[in-house]
């Protein structure tokens, strides 16, 4: 006689998901009126080098959901260590606008934030409904790197942390 596994507790599942350490990004897009908006996301994943593909997932209850369901492009801004305040600001409930003086336009027009480790300008290829999220698969059309930037912001067990830049190889 087979025994049914116990039902998954969502709180347990949330904690299990949280043991996977990630970086932290702010994903930005511009609305039809030209205003920039951003959302903190740690679901960003690089998918393919050739063709260059990435994805991230947006919750279907997010205030930014309609924007990202309609915008043809988005920019992934990868946050540096010590940038918790900006991560929390763009994780705040309600619409989080990107001010004109804190960004410049990527080739697609979506906002590139200043003071990040790197950014990727992305053209949306597929929107895949996956439970209470939608996977936004996109092609990278441009990207940039701050060579002088140091450590990365991390997220692990609901806490921000730091991923140290590798030490230079000695000898």
Ligand X SMILES: Cc1cc2nc3c(=O)[nH]c(=O)nc-3n(C[C@H](O)[C@H](O)[C@H](O)COP(=O)(O)O)c2cc1C
Task: Catalog residues that contact ligand X under the rule CB under 6 A.
Answer: 24, 39-43, 56-59, 62-64, 87, 91, 93-94, 155
Residues whose CB is less than 8 angstroms from the CB of residue 80 and which lie 6 or more positions away in sequence, other chains included: 115, 116, 117, 149, 150, 151, 152, 153
Tell me how far apart the alpha carbons of residues 134 and 114 are, in angstroms, rounded to a whole number.
27
Structure tokens at 30: 């511009």
Query: 88 vs 107, which CB is nearer to ligand X?
Result: 88
What number of other Cβ atoms are within 10 A of residue 7's Cβ?
6
């Amino acid at each position: 006689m087979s025994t049914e596994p116990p039902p998954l507790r969502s709180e347990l599942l949330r904690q299990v998901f949280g043991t996977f350490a990630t970086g932290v990004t702010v994903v930005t897009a511009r609305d039809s009126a030209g205003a920039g908006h951003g959302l903190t996301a740690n679901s960003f994943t690089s998918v393919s080098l050739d063709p260059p593909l990435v994805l991230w997932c947006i919750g279907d209850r997010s205030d930014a959901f309609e924007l990202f369901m309609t915008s043809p492009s988005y920019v992934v801004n990868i946050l540096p260590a010590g940038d918790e305040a900006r991560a929390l600001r763009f994780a705040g409930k309600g619409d989080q606008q990107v001010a004109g003086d804190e960004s410049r336009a990527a080739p697609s027009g979506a906002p590139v934030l200043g003071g990040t480790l790197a950014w990727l300008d992305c053209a949306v290829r597929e929107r895949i409904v996956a439970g209470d999220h939608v996977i936004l698969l996109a092609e990278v059309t441009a990207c940039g790197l701050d060579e002088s930037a140091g450590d990365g912001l991390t997220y692990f067990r609901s806490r921000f942390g730091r991923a140290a830049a590798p030490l230079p190889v000695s000898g």
